[in-house]
């Protein structure tokens, strides 16, 4: 019998004074997420904390309306349009609440956060994201990015206005088109993914993928013995490459055995 094993880690990086990145793993709910705050030191930290603290509660409440099993969903139900709509509604609701809070309080103008998450039941995963935090899949020695950044640069790439080799240095590379707390109604991308034995998911903020390319990420993940080692080595490599931003990584994989995992774990600054 396979079970989920996971580890998460955040780091301030080498240039920032505060850490606005957070991660959460709620094994009971099957929820794994990374949030990257924005809008200044206090506002960014508050935004990511709100996402991490409110999203699991809101998702449980929403899903209970669609499941007599009180959120213990059957694996196949993650492909249900109703469940996917639940996830969209929860993220949109948190985005609206964050936007309202930033408008009502001085000093919170521009408060927001990116988020990437995986909701896992058995061999089924439901991914959702807003912004440029990413989810990668390691399978059979190959690494694939399962999310597409919600950035102006990605739009320019999609329309052919710029070439891939121009994206890394484009002046608008950090300009987000979607995020939690955005002025308009948030429309997260949601997609189901079928997991296979031995798969590993990497959820991370741009502080990781902005410093390390896919080849480097693949090399570290395949050389590590477990998720905890993967996280340590990924953060160390991002810092060695410059550590220009806060770094958040969450690695989720499968392993043989039936040892119970913690029901809920979260982290922020190391």
Burial of 56 (0-12, 13-18, 19+ CB in 10 A): buried
Q: Give tens-digit pLDDT for 185-202.
A: 999 999 999 999 999 999
Do the domain assignments include residue 270? no
Burial class, 257, CB count within 10 angstroms (exposed 0-12 / middle 13-18 / buried 19+):
exposed
Residue 258 placed within a domain:
no
In a domain, 73, yes or no: yes
CA separation for the pair 84, 162 (Å, rounded): 33
Could you tell me if residue 262 is inside a domain? Answer: no
Q: Tell me which of 126-140, 161-175, 255-269 is least confident.
A: 255-269
Domains of the chain: total? 1
Residue 136 located in a structural domain: yes
242-252 tens-digit pLDDT: 999 999 999 99
Query: How much is the average pLDDT of 160-172?
Result: 85
Q: Which domain holds residue 47?
A: 2-253
CA distance 220 to 242: 17
Residue 259 within a domain: no
Q: What b-and-e string marks burial along 107-140, b requiring 16 or more CB atoms within 10 Å of the CB?
A: ebeebbbbbbbbbbbebbbbbbbbbbbbbbbbee
Highest mean pLDDT among 72-76, 106-110, 135-139, 251-255: 135-139
Q: Is residue 263 part of a domain?
A: no
Q: What is the CATH number of the domain that holds 208?
A: 3.60.40.10
């Amino acid at each position: 019998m396979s079970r989920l094993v996971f580890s998460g880690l955040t780091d301030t990086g080498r240039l920032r004074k505060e850490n606005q990145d957070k991660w959460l793993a709620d094994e009971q709910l099957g929820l794994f997420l990374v949030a990257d705050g924005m809008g200044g030191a206090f506002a960014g930290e508050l935004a990511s904390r709100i996402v991490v603290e409110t999203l699991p509660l809101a998702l449980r409440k929403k899903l209970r309306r669609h499941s007599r099993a009180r959120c213990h969903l059957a694996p196949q139900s993650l492909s249900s349009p109703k469940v996917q709509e639940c996830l969209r509604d929860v993220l949109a609701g948190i985005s609206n609440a964050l936007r309202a809070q930033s408008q009502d309080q001085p000093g919170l103008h521009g408060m927001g956060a990116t988020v990437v998450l995986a909701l896992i039941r058995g061999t089924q995963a439901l991914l959702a994201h807003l912004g440029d935090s990413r989810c990668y899949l390691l399978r059979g020695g190959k690494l694939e990015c399962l999310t597409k950044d919600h950035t102006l640069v990605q739009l320019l790439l999609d329309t052919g206005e710029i070439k891939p080799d121009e994206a890394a240095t484009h002046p608008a590379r950090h300009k987000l088109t979607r995020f939690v707390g955005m002025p308009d109604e948030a429309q997260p991308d949601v997609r189901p993914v079928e997991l296979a034995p031995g798969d590993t998911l990497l959820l991370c903020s741009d502080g990781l993928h902005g410093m390390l390319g896919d080849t480097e990420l693949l090399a570290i993940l395949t050389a590590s013995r477990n998720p905890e080692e993967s996280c340590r080595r990924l953060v160390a490599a991002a810092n060695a490459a410059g550590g220009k931003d806060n770094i958040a990584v969450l690695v989720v994989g499968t392993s043989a055995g039936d040892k119970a995992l913690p029901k809920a774990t979260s982290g922020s600054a190391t």
